[in-house]
Structure 1
Amino acid sequence: MMKLLFRLIVLAALGWSGFWLFGYMTLSSAVPAWFEDRRAEGWVAEYDDLSVSGFPSRLDSTFENLTLADPQTGVAWNAPFFNMHALTYRPHHVIAVWPHSQTLAIPSEKLTVSSGDMRASLVLDPGTDLTLNRTNVAIESLGITSSADWQMTASALNLAMHRDENDANTYRLALKADELTPPAGYTLPNNIDLPRSFTSFRADLTASFDRPWDRSAIEQSRPQPTALDLTLAEIIWGDLQLHAAGKVTIDTSGYPSGEVTIRAVNWRDILDVARLSGQIPVSVIDTVEQALGFIAQLSGNANELDIPLTFANGATKLGPLPIGPAPRIYLR
C-alpha cells in the first residue's frame, strides 16, 4: 500500500512538473516570437533579458530594460523592468507590476511617470485572442512630469474596467483619484484661495466599442468607442464643483451625438482657474464665459448652473448657444 501511495505521489509530482515545464517553454518561446513579429512591422521592441521562474506553482516573467515604440501612433514606452505573475493553473489571470520610474512618449511630449507602487490584475478569456474580461489598476504615490513643463501628482489612483456579461464590446469603467494635484495646482497665484489638490476626482461610465479589447489592441489598432453612458463625473476643488452625467453615441469619424448635463458651482471661479492655468486657449474660455453669463442671467442664479452640453452634426451647444465644433473622440 505504501509503495502504491509513493508511486502515485511521484507520478503526480512528475505530471505537475511537466505541466509547469510546458508553461515555461510556451512563455519562453511565445514572448520572443511576439517581439520579433513587432520588429517585423517596424516597431522598436527590445529587452535586455527575459527570465521565467516560479516553479512549481507560478509562472513569473521578468523583463529587463524593456522598450516598445509603435511608429504608427508615435507612442513609446520604456521601463527598467516589467513583471508579470500568474499561477500555473490559472495562466489567464495575470498580475502586472511596473517599476517605480518609467517613461511614456507621445508625439507632443515625453512623460516621466513615478510611483510608490503600480500594479494591475488582468483576467483574460482563455484562447489565443487574450480578450480582456476585467482589470483593476492600483497606483500609489503617482507623479507625472512632462517635457511640456507641467506636472501632476496623486496619493492614489484606482481604475477598474469590467466587461458587460451580455455584450462583449461593452465595459464599465470606474476611476477614482485621491489627493490629485492638477497642473494648475502648481501654477496658481497665491491670491486664489484653493487647496493644492482636488477634494474629489472620480468618474463612473459605461463605454461601448466597435470590438472587444484583446491582443489586437496592441498589435494592430485600438478599439474605438461607439457610445458613452456617463453615470457621474465629479470634480470638487475647494468651493469649486463640477458634475456631469449624460449619454452620447459616437460615429465612425469619432464625433459624438447626444447630451451631457453639467452642474457647475462657482463657475466663474472655475473659468478663472482655467484661464490662469494656461492649459486652455483664452479665446475658448472667453467664449464659454460669455455663453454661461447669458444663461446665468436667464436662470437667475449667478453662482450655480445646471446646463445641457449638446453634441450634434459635429457642433457643440452650451444650452441654446453654439460654442464651437464637437470634440473628436478617437483612441490613437
Structure 2
Amino acid sequence: MKRLLILIIVASVGWSAYWFIGATGVKTGFSRWFESRQSEGWLAEYDDLSVKGFPNRFDTTFTSLSLADPDTGVAWTLPFFQLFSLSYKPHHIIAVWPHTQTVAYPDQKIDVSSTDMRASLVVGASTLLPLERSNLVIQGLSVTSSADWQFKADNILLAAHHEPDTEATYRIALQADQIVPPVGIRLGTDNTLPNALSTIKADIIASFDQPWNRHAVEVARPQPTSIDVRLAKMAWGDLDLQAAGKVSIDNDGIPTGDITIRATNWRQIIQVARGSGQIPASVMDGVEQGLSLLAGISGNPKTLDIPLEFGNGMTRLGPIPIGPAPRLRLR
C-alpha cells in the first residue's frame, strides 16, 4: 500500500512538472512568434497572453489581439482569441473566436459578428504545423463592409482534409444554410426570389503551390493551381443550380478549363442579373435569347446544361462571351 501511494505521488509530481513545462513552452512559443512578426514589420500585439487548463489541457487566451501584414495590407483585430488542446494530444487544436471581430483590407473594413465561431484543427508533428484536417463551424454570421455591402448566413460548415500521398492537395466540403447575399445580387423589384438562399453545398478537390502550414500566415498564402469541382449545389427559391468540372490556374491566377452548369428554372437568374443593374439591358436581352435557344434544343425549356468555359483570359457561358476570367488569388 505504501509503495502504491509513493507511486501515485511520484506520477502526480511528474505529470504536474510535465504540464507546467508544457504550458511554459506554449506561452514562450507564442511570445516568440509575435516577436518574430514584429521584427518583420508586422503589427502584432496583444494585451495579455495566458495559458491555463491544468492538469489535462493547455487553454491559451489572447486578449485585445491585433495582427496586420504589411505585404498585403490585411489587418485583423478582435477582443480575444482562444486555442485549446489536450496536454497529451497537443497537435489537435480547438480555436474559438469572439462574437465580434474586424478584418481590414486596403479598400474596405469588414465587421464580422456571429453567435458561435469555432474550429477543430489537426496538424502534423512538425515545426511547420502542416494541416492534416480541419472543421470550421459558424452560426448566426453577419458580415458588414464599409464598401456598403452585407452578407448573412444562419449556419456554415467548412471542412478541409489533406489528401493522402499528395504534397498540397486538399478535399474541401462546404454547407451553408439560409444565406442572404449582398443586395446587389438579389432580385431587384419584383421579389420573385426570396432574400435568402436556402442552401449551398460543395465538394471540391483543390491543389496549391505549397502546403497549408504556419508559413501560410507568416510568409504568404498558398495559391491554387487547380480546382476540381466534384459537385456544387445552390437552392434559391425555385431556382436550382448544380455545377461540376475542373480548371487549372496559372501563376497569375487565371483559370483555364470548363465548369458545366445545370440550371433549373434558370430564367430567374436572368431576372436577378437584370434587377442588379450591373449588366446593360441590351446584353441581357442577347444572353436570354441565346440561353432560350440552348434550352429549347435540350428539350426542356426550364432546364439548362451549359459549359462555363475559361480560356485565354476570358469567360464564356456556352457560346456567349460574358467577360474576363476571374483572377483566383488569395491575399
TM-score (norm 2): 0.93
RMSD over equivalenced CA pairs, Å: 1.9
Q: 2:289 aligns with which of 269, 281, 293?
A: 293
Q: What CA distance in whole angstroms lies between the structure 1 residues aligned with 2:116 and 2:9? A: 41
Q: After superposition, give the CA deviation of every residue in 1:51-91 in whole Å (9 maximum; x if it has no partner).
A: 11011100000000001111111111111001110000111
Q: What CA distance in whole angstroms lies between the structure 1 residues aligned with 2:183 and 2:55? A: 50
The 1:208/1:287 distance shift into structure 2, 3 A limit, reads: farther
The percent of aligned pairs where both chains have the same amino acid is 53
Q: Aligned pair 1:25/2:33, yes or no? A: no
SS of 1:145 mapped into structure 2? strand
Q: 1:282 aligns with which of 279, 282, 304?
A: 279
What does residue range 112-261 of structure 1 map to in structure 2 within 5 Å? 112-184=111-183, 188-189=187-188, 191-261=190-260
Higher alpha-carbon deviation: 162-171 or 86-95: 162-171
What is the Cα deviation at residue 266 of structure 1?
3.0
Residue segments in structure 2 that go unaligned for 5+ positions in a row? none
Confirm or deny: 8 A CA contact 1:83 1:97 kept in the other structure: yes
Corresponding residue of 2:106 = 107
SS of 1:17 mapped into structure 2? helix
Q: After superposition, give the CA deviation of every residue in 1:261-296 in whole Å (9 maximum; x if it has no partner).
A: 012233332132234345xx325x864652452242
Higher alpha-carbon deviation: 301-310 or 45-54: 301-310
Corresponding residue of 1:83 = 82
Confirm or deny: 8 A CA contact 1:287 1:323 kept in the other structure: no
What is the Cα deviation at residue 302 of structure 1?
4.2
Corresponding residue of 1:318 = 317
SS of 2:231 mapped into structure 1? strand
SS of 1:34 mapped into structure 2? helix
Q: What CA distance in whole angstroms lies between the structure 1 residues aligned with 2:119 and 2:134? A: 7
SS of 2:245 mapped into structure 1? strand
Q: How many residues are treated as equivalent by the alignment?
A: 328
Confirm or deny: 8 A CA contact 2:142 2:150 kept in the other structure: yes
Confirm or deny: 8 A CA contact 1:43 1:70 kept in the other structure: yes
SS of 1:25 mapped into structure 2? helix
Q: What CA distance in whole angstroms lies between the structure 1 residues aligned with 2:282 and 2:175? A: 30
Write the letter of the residue equivalent to 1:77: W
The 1:275/1:23 distance shift into structure 2, 3 A limit, reads: farther
Q: After superposition, give the CA deviation of every residue in 1:162-202 in whole Å (9 maximum; x if it has no partner).
A: 11112131101111111111123997556323223112212
The 1:298/1:272 distance shift into structure 2, 3 A limit, reads: closer
Write the letter of the residue equivalent to 1:327: P
The 1:161/1:87 distance shift into structure 2, 3 A limit, reads: same
Q: What CA distance in whole angstroms lies between the structure 2 residues aligned with 1:271 and 1:184? A: 16
Q: What CA distance in whole angstroms lies between the structure 1 residues aligned with 2:5 and 2:146? A: 64
Corresponding residue of 1:266 = 265
Residue segments in structure 1 that go unaligned for 5+ positions in a row? none
SS of 1:168 mapped into structure 2? coil
Q: Aligned pair 1:305/2:304, yes or no? A: yes
Confirm or deny: 8 A CA contact 1:185 1:196 kept in the other structure: no
SS of 2:27 mapped into structure 1? helix
Corresponding residue of 1:42 = 41
Q: Aligned pair 1:63/2:51, yes or no? A: no
Higher alpha-carbon deviation: 83-92 or 302-311: 302-311
Q: After superposition, give the CA deviation of every residue in 1:217-263 in whole Å (9 maximum; x if it has no partner).
A: 00000111111110111111111222211011112221111110012
Q: What CA distance in whole angstroms lies between the structure 2 residues aligned with 1:53 and 1:286? A: 64
Poorly superposed stretches of 4+, deviation over 6 Å:
none
The 1:186/1:164 distance shift into structure 2, 3 A limit, reads: closer
The 1:151/1:295 distance shift into structure 2, 3 A limit, reads: closer
Write the letter of the residue equivalent to 1:180: I
Q: What CA distance in whole angstroms lies between the structure 2 residues aligned with 1:233 and 1:37? A: 40
